[in-house]
Amino acid sequence: MPRPLSNVAIIGMGPVGLATGLAFALEGHDVVGLDTDTKRVESIRRGQPPFYEPALKEILRDGLESGSLRATTHVGKAVEQADFIFVCVGTPARPDGYMDDSFIRRAATDIVNALPEGRRPITVIKSTVLPGTTEGVIRPILNASGRALSLAVNPEFLREGRALEDSRYPDRLILGVEDEAAAKRLRQFYAHVRCPVLETDLRTAEAIKYGTNAFLATKVAYANEMANLCQVFRVDSDRVLEGVALDARIDPKFLVPGVGFGGSCFPKDLKALVAAAKVEGKPSVLFEAVLRQNDAQYRRAIELLREELGELRGKRIALLGLAFKGGTDDVRESRAIPIAKDLLAEGAEVVGYDPVAMEGFHQLVPDVRLAKSVRAALAEADACILQADWKEFEDLEGRDFVLTMRTPIVVDGRRILTPARMIGVTYRRIG
Ligand code: UDX
């Protein structure tokens, strides 16, 4: 029997919304994406993704040409035919760290105001929301219409730089549902996905997302802490962590030490957990420590520079990789930001380069001079910090630094260079 195809509305066309919408369109569903940002919608309509993501452009153009994906700023057009409404708006951190639910509130209000009489879509929350938000914040807004609308929570675990791949082929599906009818419809909708499916209540599904990000961020903080200690003990953290990960209970992924984690999720979600725990009168000792570890970790890169260069005033430092990691143009919470700010505050000149994230970075730290290539960034530099794990940096070797830099001092903040190929270079890495 052919799988029923659905009309899908995506509310919020950021990286999660666009990748999710395209993944559904590729499965044959009819997808309309809504965003309140006119520029973003126009850009999507022109086939120009508003952010960098590998292969996104081609797939977006195919989707637009076939008509399986459309973009609008008009909420009525997005939801009028919808069988499923996936809410993918952001839940940024407020200044006090607590989750800002204003976008999600607005999305719920817009949906309920625009939904035609008689339509009964399932509203599926993909946005990361603190446990209890769907029941406590979203449901009252939807119920105010007098209609009993069905709600579900289906957290998204995609990584930037692999957004489409992760959306299409997830590790697992978490379906937070309240009734068997919604569960059945969602199971059918996701029938093509081959992975374990866990059905829970709404709150549990919300908590699983925080639980995952908190675990992964803690693992990275552990790797960083361990690497710092390895440096104290004068042992190579690669070998130590390789040995640690041979324990059948410890997976080697997310154990790469460096200058710390950034991005739109780990810092924000941990801050939200910490703030929520405080509000509940149960402060989280562990997650507070993870955030503190991460806030300080980038300084290791500067300490290593200082060990080699002494005084940093007047020195020219090349900063390679401005995004929070390779494969994305996202600079949110990028460790390049505090690194650059500290170097500038110490009177150093900073020359930055990134394959795609220069524009966004420039808006945040305008005093960093930008170079058009790795070579131009390294030219006449007294030292270099490698901050993001871009593929094009991995292939750099000794002579790339020796031939261009004033003094070939390299601090590898992501442990991606091959030490044996760093001939002629003063090569330092964290760990
Ligand atoms: C993360 C989660 O992986 C994803 O499931 C969730 O949906 C969103 O948050 P993302 O922010 O795209 O995804 O980046 P990720 O690849 O997880 O890396 C996060 C940060 O940790 C980056 O700054 C990265 O450089 C750093 N990291 C990661 C390490 O420092 N070491 C590691 O071993 C892994």
Asked if residue 222 has its Cβ within 6 Å of ligand 1, the reply is no
Instruction: Give the position, in ligand 1's atom list, of the atom nearest the Cα of 256.
Output: 33
Strand order in the sheet with 426-429: 369-370, 349-353, 316-320, 383-386, 409-412, 426-429
| Region label for 150, one of left (φ > 0), alpha (ψ between -120 and 50) or beta (otherwise) | beta
The predicted pLDDT at position 4 comes to: 67
From first CA to last CA, the distance across the chain in angstroms is 56
- Catalytic positions are 265
CA of 254 to the centre of ligand 1 (A): 8
CA distance 64 to 70: 6
CA distance 394 to 323: 16
CA of 266 to the centre of ligand 1 (A): 7
Residue nearest to atom 21 of ligand 1 (CA): 261
The predicted pLDDT at position 2 comes to: 60
Give me the average pLDDT of each 10-residue run along the chain (431 residues). Answer: 82 97 96 97 97 93 95 96 97 94 97 91 97 97 87 97 95 96 96 96 98 98 97 94 98 97 97 96 98 98 96 97 97 98 98 97 98 98 98 96 98 96 95 72
Tokens 């170097």 belong to 343
Task: Quick: pLDDT tens for 257-275.
Answer: 999 999 999 999 999 999 9
Residue nearest to atom 16 of ligand 1 (CA): 159
Task: Quick: pLDDT tens for 161-186.
Answer: 999 999 999 999 999 999 999 999 99
SS (H, E, C) the chain: CCCCCCEEEEECCCHHHHHHHHHHHHCCCEEEEECCCHHHHHHHHCCCCCCCCCCHHHHHHHHHHHCCEEEECCHHHHHCCCCEEEECCCCCECCCCCECCHHHHHHHHHHHHHCCCCCCCEEEECCCCCCCHHHHHHHHHHHCCCCCCEEEECCCCCCCCCHHHHHHCCCCEEEECCCHHHHHHHHHHCCCCCCCEEEECHHHHHHHHHHHHHHHHHHHHHHHHHHHHHHHHCCCHHHHHHHHHCCCCCCCCCCCCCCCCCCCCHHHHHHHHHHHHHHCCCCCHHHHHHHHHHHHHCHHHHHHHHHHHCCCCCCEEEEECCCCCCCCCCCCCCCHHHHHHHHHHCCCEEEEECCCCHHHHHHHCCCCEECCCHHHHHCCCCEEEECCCCHHHHCCCHHHHHCCCCCCEEEECCCCCCHHHCCCCEEEECC
pTM for the whole structure: 0.96
Residue nearest to atom 15 of ligand 1 (CA): 159
Residue nearest to atom 3 of ligand 1 (CA): 159
Asked if residue 262 has its Cβ within 6 Å of ligand 1, the reply is yes
Asked if residue 408 has its Cβ within 6 Å of ligand 1, the reply is no
Asked if residue 261 has its Cβ within 6 Å of ligand 1, the reply is yes
